Every structure is written in structure tokens, then in C-alpha cells.
Amino acid sequence: MVTIRAYHRPTTLAAALELLARPDVEAIPLGGGTEINGLPGRVPSEVVDLQALGLADISRDGATLDVGSMVTLRDFIEHEWTPPLLRDLARREGPNTIRNVATLGGVVATADPESGLVAGLLAYSAVVSIAGASGIENVVLTDLVGGGKGLVGSIITSVQIALGGDGTFEATARTPADTPIVLVAGHRSDDDSLLLAATGVAATPVLIEPDGIEDLRPPPDFRGSADYRRHLAGVLAARVVGRLPEGGPA
């Protein structure tokens, strides 16, 4: 159980970062509020609400979609510029009651091991803008999810997605309504480069290579052994690649 002793709602990014940077206080940013994530083994004492920072816009600069971190999954799904693959995967993040308040930045920051949307963003080579004490830094999502860049004391401000190309996904679950045991999302860009990402094969969603699936070491659970998950990844990846042929339609 998380005990919150203080609540802050700053109106500027600088004020929010100052609140998060205090060395004597365990404070964390609050997005949609569906999850509160402190450091492992530590209970946050304060939250810093990001709702008043103006981070809920969606804009487009040529072939790049810029999505504010506080954009709700509902608004992301409903926006005309959202790629169909990411729209479909965002719908799978939870029921309407969750999607109405959960934010894209929160999904990225949490990087749930079974988040198909994070896998889709990886396949789209998403770039994350992170504000910290030294300014705003753009980080490739693979580096953030892989642990190369931490978020302590910083705030995700937006996610950039390269538009164009074609995307699809395949998944296997125990029932149609269940969370997939393994999900593979793929995106072939306009220059015919192909990226695949999967859930259910590592501690977080990860990029995978069709010829490197045998090297995966999936974490087993009651839904499937490591060997079964690895087999599923191979089958689903082959299906995705088959549906995204070179030179296919955008």
C-alpha cells in the first residue's frame, strides 16, 4: 500500500522538476493516476501532478507525430493521425475506464512487460522527450525501456512517432479477452526497413530479430514455459513478416 503525505499540482515544468529534485523527499510524477510507480522497495511520500503542465497536445511536423505525455489513451486512439497499429494496441491496454484516464507517458514510463502498445511504439522507433535538470533530452524508446536511461527526477514530456509505412501485430492468448501470452508487433517503414517487437519474451517489451528468436530467454509462468513462449514468438513473428512484405502499401 502506498501512503501519500503531500500532493502538488505545479503549473510550470520548472516547478515540477524542482519538486522532484528535492534530495530529502521521495516524490514521483503523477500522470493519469491509474498506477503510481516509486523506486523498487521504496514508498513515495509525495506526488507531483502533471495535469497543469500543458502536456496534453497532439501535433504533427511533416511525417512526425508529437504526442504529449499527458494525452490520454482515449484521445490517442480517437485522433485522426494515430497509426492504425498503435490505435489497435492502445485499445488493448485496458477497459474504457482505464483508457479515459491513463496517459501515453504513463504507459511508456511503466513499460509493463505485457504492454502491446509499448511493443508497437518500439516497432515504430518512437523517441521520448525527457525533461530533467539539464534540459530536455530526446531518448530512443529502446534505450529507455532497456534501462539505459532512468527517469528518477525527470519528466516525460512527449513521444515522437514517425508516420508512414505499414504495421500489424499477432498475438496468442488463452482466451480472446485475456492478456496475450506473447504478442509480436511489426512496422515496415516507407524505406522498407522492418522492426519487430514482442511482449512475453523478456522482462519488458523488446525488439526482436527473426533469426535471433532462439536466443531469447523468456520468463516462464503458469501460462507457458520459456520454450513455449519462444516457439510462439517465432510463429507470430513469421506471420507478422508475412503480412508486411517488402514494398507493401503504406
Quote the pLDDT of residue 38.
41
Strand partners, 156: 130
Mean pLDDT per 10-residue segment, the chain (250 residues): 79 93 84 60 75 95 95 96 97 90 92 94 96 91 79 91 96 91 96 96 94 94 95 97 74
Domain boundaries, the chain: 6-52, 55-162, 166-243
Best CA proximity match to 199, nearest among 111, 119, 85, 92? 119
Quote the pLDDT of residue 35.
64
Fold of 55-162: 3.30.465
Residue identified by cell 511504439 is: 121
Best CA proximity match to 158, nearest among 10, 74, 55? 55
DSSP state, residue 179: P
DSSP state, residue 204: S
Architecture of domain 6-52: 2-Layer Sandwich (3.30)
Residue identified by cell 516524490 is: 27
Secondary structure E strands in 14-140: 27-30, 46-49, 58-61, 64-68, 127-132, 135-140
Quote the pLDDT of residue 37.
46
CATH superfamily of 166-243: CO dehydrogenase flavoprotein, C-terminal domain (3.30.390.50)
Cell numbers found for residue 114: 505485457
Say if residues 128 and 101 touch (Cβ distance below 8 Å).
Answer: no
Cα–Cα distance for residue pair 218/235, rounded to 1 Å: 15
